[in-house]
Chains A and B, each alone.
Chain A
Amino acid sequence: MALLELRNISKIYHLGGEEIRALDDVSLDIGEGEFISIIGPSGSGKSTLMHIVGCLDTPSKGTVRLDGVEAQNASQTQLAHLRNKKIGFVFQFFNLLPKLNVVQNVELPMIYAGLSAKERRERALKALEAVEMGNRLKNRPSQLSGGQQQRVAIARALVNDPKIILADEPTGNLDTHTGEVILALFRRLSAEGRTVILVTHNPEIAAVTPRRIEIRNGKIADKVDERLAGLDRTKPGSPAPISVA
């Protein structure tokens, strides 16, 4: 049984009497320990899929099974608990709370998990060590560089030991070099056996992951667009050249 099973997922929005199918009958399995990227242009339904995978939203139709738990009919409260326990989010704009310092930000998910202050502190320190941010504990996010903020955010995503790390354009707001460092961090997490899902429209980033899923017009494309997925790697590890189809 896969860690995440999506069966015949549809998400339908109604805008001014018009029916918009953001996702149309999507089925997808993601196994434990996979390193996977979801790619697709803006408006393709990529974000909607990410919201459903990340338990931020429920589908209009179809079933979602996350780590053996049926999530398609979950209430907002149940979704919140699933997010807390099973999902670690990493966002493009880091989304750290500006008023809290680094440790407090990392402790945040554990507060809602109901852990004791002592345990929170221990686990936050361990997670920050893992992303090499153990020396900036008392800093505010505004005192850190973008890459450092993203590492704190990754520590926050790791700290509840989730089944899935879900990263939405994690390098989108970073320069190339820092982006590579962050990507390397994700690769390391994957190598440690964690399930990592990268959502991106950047082919270079998608090229890092062994498995790629492309969303086009609300469906999973049969064949991944090689240009978009960066599969056409003439030089491994380097930015993919754009080949003429």
Chain B
Amino acid sequence: MSLWSAILVGLKEIWAHKFRSLLTMLGIILGVSSLIAMSALVQGMENGAKEALIAVGGLQKLRVEPQPLPIEQRHLRDFARGVTLDDVHALQASAPEVIKVSPEMRLEPQPTLAANGKFHRTWMTAGVWPVQLEMMEHTIEHGRMFSEVDNELARNVCVIGTNIRDELFGKPEETGEPVIPIGQQLTINGYPFTIVGMFQHYESEADRKARLLREQELAAKRAAGETNFASGPKRSRGWNGGGRRGGNFAFWIKNNTVYLPLNTMWLKLKSGQTNAPAVPTLTNMELKIRDVSRLNQALTQIRNVLMVTHRGVEDFTFRTQEDWAESINVFIRNARMSGGIIAGISLLVGGIGIMNIMLASISERIREIGIRKAVGADGADVFIQILIESTVIAIVGGAAGLLTSFGLIKIIGMITPTDNAPVITVGSMALAFGASVGIGILAGLFPAFKAARMNVIQALRYD
């Protein structure tokens, strides 16, 4: 019996019992679509979790910052000079594994920004080189980044994030028109600075969707003639932990950034502080390495270079994003595993349904099997016929499940419009479909074996 005619027989058998086959397939359909939907949701979550990591430069970026001396070097503490611009120059000259070095000199304690008669304190006021823009994945949307010349001449210019603009010049959502304070003045600890550039607004995919949804609702209300949107007086709703998800802190801090030229910071703001060191001491420096897979070699190289400039005094340490990336991976692996187990169980239940229906099917077709054997079907023919029937049910169910999964994901998207968009991957579709076919074959094995072993004489006599 050829494979093709066996498949046709299987399809006919399914068609002959449409409703029963549909119910049987339903288990597989639900299993496949839930497996795909689960995998798509986790993929969306992974993308959401990783976007914050990418927003701060990814795994390629690492930070060198000062640390207290180790115990065995405590007696050398007078020689510890911290991370300085000398280190930056040394790394640029002698560490080929490092492709970018960006020094950062923060003002501590945090300065007070003022403009328009408003005040704002922020965490991230730093003197940097223009290269910091690429290093921290910043994008200037309005104006320009300050230049090497601005840095050389220690000009009083700065670039700001959108939150600074919101606090000092007003939110565009509230004023109803874009607020671009380029060319305007703000003061940092009383020193006047000209704003030459502003970053774009950084936000996670989920926040962006939430904001767009809010704007849509607002527009709809405006169109309906409503004007009084807010209930009660304007209020702060309190700190929300920097957003609902941990990664949002990265976006929050980028929006709250003020960058000014390093020399300006050093000469005009730092020099006025008590205990100002004689050499330009950095808060930290950001490095970008050539290749993530050679992270360890890069770290060793950087350490060797810095040990020379620090003359053996180990007053610096490294900070990478490995832990963050690792925790994302662990979280995703767990989510994938738990979702996979649940979807796998529903696939298994679907498989049991197939086995059940195939057993019922062969016991109501005992006579047919007897007749087929009497006219010359051997055990293998019967075995293959039953196996193909169950496999065809699983394949049709799996294909229907693939289609259903798209609808399922649409529905999920409608229920939670602000969450990370589920991403259907070809891999998950192949996996779910393959699993459904595999389960169909497994579920058919036992009924097929039973049918093949049936005694032809008894089967012929069966009523």
Chain A interface (Cβ < 8 Å from any Cβ of B): 51, 56-57, 76-77, 80-81, 83-85, 89, 91, 95-97, 99, 108-109, 111-114, 117, 156, 160
- Does B108 sit at the interface, judged by CB under 8 A? no
Residues of B within 8 A of A89 (CB): 374-375
Residues of B within 8 A of A91 (CB): 460
Q: Could you name 17 residue pairs across A and B whose Cβ atoms are closer than 8 Å?
A: A56-B457, A57-B457, A76-B379, A77-B379, A80-B373, A83-B373, A83-B374, A83-B376, A95-B367, A95-B371, A95-B460, A97-B368, A97-B371, A99-B12, A111-B5, A113-B376, A156-B375
Residues of A within 8 A of B368 (CB): 97
Query: In the complex the two chains form, is A81's CB within 8 Å of B16's CB?
Result: no
Please report the number of residue pairs spanning A and B whose Cβ atoms sit closer than 8 angstroms: 61
Say whether, besides A56-B457, A57-B457, A81 and B378 are in contact (CB < 8 Å): yes
Residues of B within 8 A of A85 (CB): 376
Q: Which of B371, B372, B376 contacts A81 (CB 8 A)?
A: B376
Residues of A within 8 A of B380 (CB): 77
Say whether, besides A95-B367, A99-B12, A112-B1, A83 and B375 are in contact (CB < 8 Å): yes
Query: In the complex the two chains form, is A80's CB within 8 Å of B457's CB?
Result: no
Q: Which of B2, B371, B378 contacts A77 (CB 8 A)?
A: B378
Q: Within the assembled complex, what's the spacing in Å between the Cα atoms of A56 and B371? A: 11
Q: Within the assembled complex, what's the spacing in Å between the Cα atoms of A85 and B375? A: 9
Q: Which of A76, A112, A114 contacts B375 (CB 8 A)?
A: A112
- Does B381 sit at the interface, judged by CB under 8 A? yes
Q: Within the assembled complex, what's the spacing in Å between the Cα atoms of A95 and B461? A: 10
What is the distance, in angstroms, from A21's C-beta to the closest C-beta of chain B? 18
Residues of A within 8 A of B375 (CB): 83-84, 89, 108-109, 112, 156
Q: Give the residue name and chain of the A residue nearest to B378 (CB).
A: A80
Interface size on B, residues (CB 8 A): 22
Q: Give the residue name and chain of the B residue nearest to A94 (CB).
A: B371
What is the distance, in angstroms, from A210's C-beta to the closest C-beta of chain B? 27
What is the distance, in angstroms, from B392's C-beta to the closest C-beta of chain A? 16
Residues of A within 8 A of B140 (CB): none
Residues of B within 8 A of A113 (CB): 376
Query: In the complex the two chains form, is A108's CB within 8 Å of B372's CB?
Result: yes
Q: Within the assembled complex, what's the spacing in Å between the Cα atoms of A77 and B383? A: 12
Query: In the complex the two chains form, is A112's CB within 8 Å of B371's CB?
Result: no
Q: Within the assembled complex, what's the spacing in Å between the Cα atoms of A117 and B371? A: 20
Q: Which of A76, A84, A99 contacts B376 (CB 8 A)?
A: A84
Residues of B within 8 A of A77 (CB): 378-380
Query: In the complex the two chains form, is A95's CB within 8 Å of B1's CB?
Result: no
What is the distance, in angstroms, from B20's C-beta to the closest C-beta of chain A? 14
Interface residues of B in 92-131 (CB under 8 A from A): none
Residues of A within 8 A of B460 (CB): 56, 91, 95
Query: In the complex the two chains form, is A109's CB within 8 Å of B376's CB?
Result: yes
- Does B377 sit at the interface, judged by CB under 8 A? yes
Q: Within the assembled complex, what's the spacing in Å between the Cα atoms of A77 and B5? A: 20
What is the distance, in angstroms, from B451's C-beta to the closest C-beta of chain A? 13
What is the distance, in angstroms, from A47's C-beta to the closest C-beta of chain B? 9
Other CB < 8 Å A-B pairs besides A80-B377, A89-B374, 12 of them?
A57-B457, A76-B379, A80-B373, A83-B373, A84-B376, A89-B375, A97-B371, A97-B372, A99-B16, A108-B372, A112-B1, A112-B377
Residues of A within 8 A of B374 (CB): 56, 83, 89, 95
Residues of A within 8 A of B16 (CB): 99
Query: In the complex the two chains form, is B379's CB within 8 Å of A111's CB?
Result: no
Cβ proximity bits B348-376 to A, threshold 8 Å, 1 near / 0 not: 00000000000000000001101111111
- Does B456 sit at the interface, judged by CB under 8 A? yes
What is the distance, in angstroms, from B386's C-beta to the closest C-beta of chain A? 15
Residues of B within 8 A of A114 (CB): 1-2
Residues of A within 8 A of B367 (CB): 95
Q: Give the residue name and chain of the A residue nearest to B16 (CB).
A: A99
Say whether, besides A56-B456, A97-B371, A108-B372, A80 and B1 are in contact (CB < 8 Å): no
Residues of A within 8 A of B376 (CB): 80-81, 83-85, 109, 112-113, 160
What is the distance, in angstroms, from B372's C-beta to the closest C-beta of chain A? 7
What is the distance, in angstroms, from A177's C-beta to the closest C-beta of chain B? 27
Q: Within the assembled complex, what's the spacing in Å between the Cα atoms of A148 and B457? A: 25
Q: Give the residue name and chain of the B residue nearest to A98 (CB).
A: B368
Q: Which of B381, B456, B457 contacts A112 (CB 8 A)?
A: B381
Interface residues of B in 28-47 (CB under 8 A from A): none
Say whether, besides A97-B368, A99-B12, A76 and B1 are in contact (CB < 8 Å): no
Q: Give the residue name and chain of the A residue nearest to B381 (CB).
A: A112
Q: Within the assembled complex, what's the spacing in Å between the Cα atoms of A217 and B158? A: 115
